[in-house]
């Protein structure tokens, strides 16, 4: 479906042309003076320079052509030229109603499939195995999931990859600590040739305790650290027992990670990790050497990636350490090798903490320079800011430790539960379930309503409030609509059979807001900006609630008018639900 702005622009553009001006000047935009008009056209101002004429004169000529059109009255309610040359526009209610009726016919409410859908791979989540998910991983999961859903909604093929941190020293540390504790296990016996046990020699809670213990010990005990580095090297060189341990670590960890991500309603198509890149490293390194991109510097293997236009120093990209070990850059580059080979994506989008920006500049440049990624594939880094506590410092537990994601979710759900039972009497079990659904909206909306690149303050009180720019407020609005629609149904009405109609001044602002839907969604994806979807539904919810407070809906006596209201409710609900789906949460039946 065409954007409503394009539909309104068409007669304006033709009028500009008929008056002897460039048609492109006739583009209409949303009004920046909603007190005066709904849309406006500023083309006369741009045309003034081009045609050396006063903008007011141009606007008046265009207005005349516009008024002379046979379809003028179908679209425009009011057109006026104001100094210095703006064309202010109000459109007919029936015109908007017709547009909305068209939206209702479509599954995606007027969002059209792109002419050339893209295949986009999103790298998000990025948890590290054997470490519990903590709040530092929350933003990547929330933002990445939302972009995945948004991309799919607007018609692209989107593949989500979790890109586990499962390579490098952390693995060596776990292996070393395990060896200290249980040296008798067959994994450590190099002469062992039999099959390894199916069952992992640890549980998830043991694993989560082993890693921090090992990490702390390696900082004090040099020899221990040496052993861990040696184990890392042996693992990377393919030592059988260690590979088997890695698989155990992955199994146990991934099961737990999946459970955690499920609580966030976040899911991945691919559960690949850094370790999956390992088989591609030798050939990649050989290619970089042979083609002369990589050279030795202080024993390490590096590729220069600085460019003349750089304003700050971009150090060379490290490919191998002097001991031959792979680095974070190495696995990211080799990951691109298999991503290109297996998926040929049009774009690879990384949703990662913005403090890793330099790393991605190096990786992207190196991948392009060495031909791993060709010109047809876009590489995008979406760096997000830090989630801070109310003191403005990175979010911590009350004791000052890193907060586990689970505890954060539990805390929010508890607060939500308290509010729900305080609000009205409900069944305890139902209230618990509702608290989970609403709690998720509080967390996700609290995050997504901020521009991703900015830091934000995680404020439980504000995020869980039923009022203001919050997830629960949006859900409250949806629940309100559902309840009116249920009452309508109980009274024998068929909401889906109701036709959209112009409801006059009471419905106009809500209708105009609804009509923006396709434009907002496409633009939000274009700019990778879920916060624009949030801003939109906040406005929409406000317009709906305003309408609700001003209007008798079910009590309206004129049946046709009442049906028009119901149709409007049906559409508002569909638009809001499509948006929250894209943001990654859903609405309960009651709250």
Contact region for ligand ARG (CB under 6 A) — 122-130, 236-244, 501-509, 517-525? 122-130
Interatomic CA distance for residues 501 and 508, integer angstroms: 11
Binding flag, residue 330, ligand ARG (CB under 6 A): no
| CB nearer ligand ARG, residue 276 or residue 332 | 332
**Residue 76 β-bridge partners:** 91
Rounded least distance, CB 477 to ligand ARG, Å: 36
From 78-86, 123-131, 309-317, 535-543, span contacting ligand ARG (CB under 6 A): 123-131
Least CB distance to ligand ARG at residue 376 (A):
20
> Given candidates 9, 128, 434, 469, which one binds ligand ARG under the rule CB under 6 A?
128
Contact (Cβ atoms closer than 8 angstroms) between residue 377 and residue 339: no
| DSSP bridge pairs for 282 | none
Shortest Cβ 312–ligand ARG spacing (Å): 21
Contact pick of 11, 47, 126, 132 for ligand ARG (by CB under 6 A): 126
Angstrom distances, CA of residue 584 to CA of 161, 245, 246, 260, 384: 17, 35, 32, 15, 18
Nearest residue (CB) to ligand ARG, 128 versus 260: 128
Q: Rg of the chain over CA atoms, in angstroms?
A: 29
The residue within the footprint of ligand ARG, chosen from 38, 61, 63, 123 (CB under 6 A), is: 123
Q: Whose Cβ is closer to ligand ARG: residue 88's or residue 128's? A: 128
Helix (H) / strand (E) containing 68: none
Shortest approach of ligand ARG to residue 327 CB, angstroms?
Answer: 11
From residue 312, alpha-carbon distances to 306, 317, 357, 358 in Å are 9, 15, 13, 11
Asked if residue 576 lies in contact with residue 478, where contact means CB atoms within 8 angstroms, the answer is: yes
CB of 352 to ligand ARG, least distance (A): 4
Instruction: Report the residue number, 128 or 434, with the smaller CB distance to ligand ARG.
Output: 128
Q: Residue with the closest Cβ to ligand ARG? A: 126
Pick the closer one to ligand ARG by CB: 303 or 481. Answer: 303
**In the complex, minimum distance from the CB of residue 351 to ligand ARG, in angstroms, rounded to a whole number:** 8
Instruction: Scan residues 299-328 and list those touching ligand ARG (CB under 6 A).
Output: none
Our measurement of the distance from residue 520's CA atom to the centroid of its chain's CA atoms, rounded to an integer in Å, reads 14
Our CB check for ligand ARG shows the closer of 142 and 575 to be 142
Q: List Cα–Cα distances, 202 to 130, 259, 261, 285, in angstroms.
A: 11, 18, 22, 36
CA 262 to CA 162: how far, in whole Å?
13
Q: Which is nearer to ligand ARG, 21 or 360 (CB)?
A: 360
Residues in Cβ contact with 331 at an 8 Å cutoff, skipping those fewer than 6 apart: 167, 168, 274, 275, 277, 278, 281
DSSP 33: -
**Nearer to ligand ARG among residue 209 and residue 353 (C-beta):** 353
Residue 352 touching ligand ARG (CB under 6 A) = yes
Distance CA 36, CA 429 (A): 51
338 by DSSP, 3-state: which?
helix
Shortest separation between residue 322's beta carbon and ligand ARG, angstroms: 23
Closest CA to 302 of 321, 278, 328: 321
The residue to which tokens 């083309």 are assigned: 43
User: Hey, which residues between 137 and 176 contact ligand ARG (CB under 6 A)?
Assistant: 163, 165
Q: How far is the CB of 126 from ligand ARG (least distance, A)?
A: 3
Residue 329 is a binding residue for ligand ARG (CB under 6 A): no
Cα–Cα nearest to 208, from 278, 130, 313: 130
**Count of residues that bind ligand ARG according to CB under 6 A:** 8
Minimum Å gap between C-beta 130 and ligand ARG is 12
| Least distance CB 403 / ligand ARG (angstroms) | 16
Q: Does residue 332 bind ligand ARG (CB under 6 A)?
A: yes
* C-beta of residue 159 within 8 angstroms of C-beta of residue 343: yes
Nearer to ligand ARG, 126 or 564 (CB): 126
Distance in Å from the first CA to the final CA of the chain: 35
Q: Please identify, using beta-carbon distances, which residue of 132 and 165 lies nearer to ligand ARG.
A: 165
Of the listed pieces 121-129, 222-230, 282-290, 488-496, which binds ligand ARG according to CB under 6 A?
121-129
Nearest CA to 471 out of 510, 426, 505, 438 is that of 438
Q: Return the exposure string of 381-416: e unless at least 16 CB atoms fall within 10 Å of the residue's CB, then b.
A: bbebbbbbbeeeeebeeeeeeebbbeebbebbbebb
Residue closer to ligand ARG by CB (options 329, 370) is 329
Q: Does 276 bind ligand ARG (CB under 6 A)?
A: no
Q: Which is nearer to ligand ARG, 47 or 126 (CB)?
A: 126
* Most distant pair of Cα atoms in the chain: their distance: 93
Question: Please, what is the minimum distance in Å from the beta carbon of residue 350 to ligand ARG?
Answer: 6
Residues at the contact surface with ligand ARG, assessed by CB under 6 A: 123, 126, 128, 163, 165, 332, 350, 352
């Amino acid at each position: 479906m065409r954007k409503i702005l394009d539909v309104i622009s068409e007669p304006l553009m033709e009028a500009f042309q008929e008056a002897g001006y460039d048609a492109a000047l006739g583009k209409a935009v949303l009004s920046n003076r909603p007190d005066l008009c709904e849309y406006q056209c500023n083309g006369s101002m741009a045309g003034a320079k081009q045609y050396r004429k006063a903008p007011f004169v141009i606007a008046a000529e265009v207005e005349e052509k516009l008024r002379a059109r046979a379809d003028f009255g179908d679209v425009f309610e009011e057109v006026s030229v104001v100094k210095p040359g703006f064309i202010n526009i109000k459109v007919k209610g029936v015109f908007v109603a017709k547009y909305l009726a068209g939206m209702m016919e479509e599954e995606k409410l007027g969002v059209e499939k792109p002419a050339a859908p893209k295949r986009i791979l999103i790298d998000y989540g990025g948890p590290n195995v054997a470490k519990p998910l903590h709040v530092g991983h929350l933003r990547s999961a929330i933002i990445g999931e939302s972009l995945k859903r948004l991309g799919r909604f607007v018609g692209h093929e989107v593949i989500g990859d979790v890109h586990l941190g499962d390579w490098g020293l952390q693995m060596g540390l776990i292996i070393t600590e395990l060896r200290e504790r249980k040296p008798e296990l067959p994994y450590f016996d190099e002469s062992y040739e039999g099959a390894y046990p199916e069952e992992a020699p640890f549980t998830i809670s043991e694993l989560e305790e082993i890693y921090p213990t090992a990490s702390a010990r390696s900082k004090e005990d040099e020899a221990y650290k040496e052993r861990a580095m040696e184990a890392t090297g042996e693992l990377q060189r393919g030592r059988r027992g260690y590979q088997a341990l890695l698989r155990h670590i992955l199994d146990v960890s991934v099961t737990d990670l999946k459970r955690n991500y499920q609580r966030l309603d976040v899911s991945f198509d691919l559960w690949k990790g850094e370790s999956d890149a390992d088989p591609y490293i030798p050939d990649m390194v050989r290619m970089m050497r042979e083609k002369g991109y990589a050279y030795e510097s202080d024993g390490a293997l590096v590729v220069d990636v600085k460019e003349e236009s750089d304003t700050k120093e971009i150090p060379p990209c490290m490919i191998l350490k002097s001991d031959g070990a792979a680095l974070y850059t190495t696995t990211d580059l080799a990951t691109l090798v298999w991503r290109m080979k297996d998926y040929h994506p049009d774009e690879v989008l990384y949703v990662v903490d913005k403090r890793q920006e330099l790393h991605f500049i190096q990786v992207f440049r190196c991948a392009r320079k060495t031909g791993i990624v060709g010109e047809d594939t876009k590489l995008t880094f979406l760096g997000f800011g830090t989630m801070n506590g109310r003191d403005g410092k990175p979010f911590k537990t009350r004791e000052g430790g890193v907060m586990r994601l689970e505890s954060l979710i539990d805390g929010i759900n508890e607060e939500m539960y308290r509010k729900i039972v305080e609000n009205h009497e409900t069944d305890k079990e139902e209230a618990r379930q509702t608290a989970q659904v609403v709690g998720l909206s509080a967390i996700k909306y609290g995050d997504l309503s901020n521009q991703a690149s900015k830091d934000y303050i995680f404020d439980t009180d504000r995020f869980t409030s039923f009022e203001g720019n919050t997830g629960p407020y949006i859900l409250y609005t949806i629940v309100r609509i559902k309840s009116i629609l249920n009452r309508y149904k109980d009274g024998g009405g068929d909401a889906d059979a109701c036709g959209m109609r112009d409801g006059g001044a009471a419905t106009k602002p809500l209708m105009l807001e609804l009509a923006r839907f396709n434009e907002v969604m496409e633009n939000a994806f274009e700019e990778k900006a879920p916060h624009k979807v949030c801003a939109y539904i906040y406005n929409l919810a406000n317009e709906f609630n305003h309408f609700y407070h001003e209007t008798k809906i079910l009590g309206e006596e004129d049946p046709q008018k009442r049906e028009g209201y119901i149709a409007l409710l049906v559409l508002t609900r569909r638009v809001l639900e499509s948006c929250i789906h894209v943001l990654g949460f859903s609405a309960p039946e009651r709250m």
